């Protein structure tokens, strides 16, 4: 049996990383073999591109092209082989992030992103996407508590993150069968219960 491909998305500060770690452990206790990975990144070349993407100023189209170049590598070397083996792949961000950040945030036309999406992945899509949604002001307060260097995206102003959030929600409306929106204002316990139910039906 082929495995499953699950992606996690959300604005910076929505708690995606915490839920990702919990989800991976949960799946392992259920006996699944899980490959935990992330974008941009997930391969040796992809991780080098991640360093550039997160810290080096560049033209917005260059940014989009590098995101999809890293994704192509990731799909061929990691994601597709794992699914073919029957593993479950849990990925921290994927193509919805390009629509949200390069599209919504930076203003790259959706048509261009759609062309890159088709080129790089054909009609391949995640089996399930968990979108952790949180008002931008609350997400910013949560991030302010983190004592670390902010990357190029995290340093953007509130209106950028508002557009990112809106573009994510638009993708969810467009593809309701794939994208499950989780209200991240809820407690960890309630969110975990919700995730448990969603995963049980996969």
The residue to which tokens 């499953």 are assigned: 4
Chosen residue from 27, 79, 83, 97 binding ligand TYD by CB under 6 A: 97
> Helices 110-121 & 60-74, crossing angle to 10 degrees?
20
Our finding on whether 168 is near ligand TYD (CB under 6 A) is: no
Q: How near is the Cβ of 101 to ligand TYD at its closest, in Å?
A: 3
DSSP 128: E
Q: How near is the Cβ of 20 to ligand TYD at its closest, in Å?
A: 9
Using the minimum distance from each CB to ligand TYD, give the nearer residue, 88 or 153. 153
Q: How near is the Cβ of 192 to ligand TYD at its closest, in Å?
A: 19
- Residue 40: CB partners within 8 Å, gap ≥ 6? 46, 49, 50, 53, 54, 66, 67, 70, 71, 93
Q: How near is the Cβ of 201 to ligand TYD at its closest, in Å?
A: 26
Q: How near is the Cβ of 63 to ligand TYD at its closest, in Å?
A: 7
Using the minimum distance from each CB to ligand TYD, give the nearer residue, 87 or 92. 92
3-state secondary structure (DSSP) of residue 87: coil
Our finding on whether 98 is near ligand TYD (CB under 6 A) is: yes
**E strand or H helix at 10, and its extent?**
strand 4-10
Please tell me the distance from the alpha carbon of residue 100 to that of residue 164, in angstroms, as a whole number.
5
Q: What part of residues 32-91 is at the interface with ligand TYD (CB under 6 A)? A: 39-40, 67
15: left (phi over 0), alpha (psi -120 to 50) or beta: left
Chosen residue from 4, 19, 74, 93 binding ligand TYD by CB under 6 A: 93
The residues binding ligand TYD (CB under 6 A) are 12, 17, 39-40, 67, 92-93, 97-98, 101-102, 153-154
């Amino acid at each position: 049996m082929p495995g499953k491909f699950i992606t996690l998305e959300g604005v910076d500060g929505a708690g995606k990383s915490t839920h990702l770690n919990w989800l991976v452990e949960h799946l392992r206790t259920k006996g699944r073999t899980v490959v935990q990975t992330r974008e941009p990144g997930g391969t040796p070349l992809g991780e080098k591109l991640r360093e550039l993407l997160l810290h080096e100023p560049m033209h917005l189209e260059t940014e989009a092209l590098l995101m999809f170049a890293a994704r192509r590598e990731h799909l061929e070397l990691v994601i597709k082989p794992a699914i073919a083996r029957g593993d479950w792949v849990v990925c921290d961000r994927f193509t919805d992030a390009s629509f949200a950040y390069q599209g919504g945030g930076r203003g790259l036309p959706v048509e261009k992103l759609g062309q890159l999406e088709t080129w790089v992945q054909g009609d391949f899509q995640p089996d399930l996407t968990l979108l952790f949604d949180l008002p931008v002001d609350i997400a910013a307060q949560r991030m302010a508590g983190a004592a670390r260097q902010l990357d190029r995206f995290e340093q953007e102003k509130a209106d950028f993150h508002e557009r990112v959030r809106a573009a994510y929600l638009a993708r969810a409306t467009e593809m309701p069968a794939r994208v499950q929106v989780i209200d991240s204002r809820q407690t960890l316990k309630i969110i975990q219960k919700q995730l448990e139910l969603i995963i049980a039906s996969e």
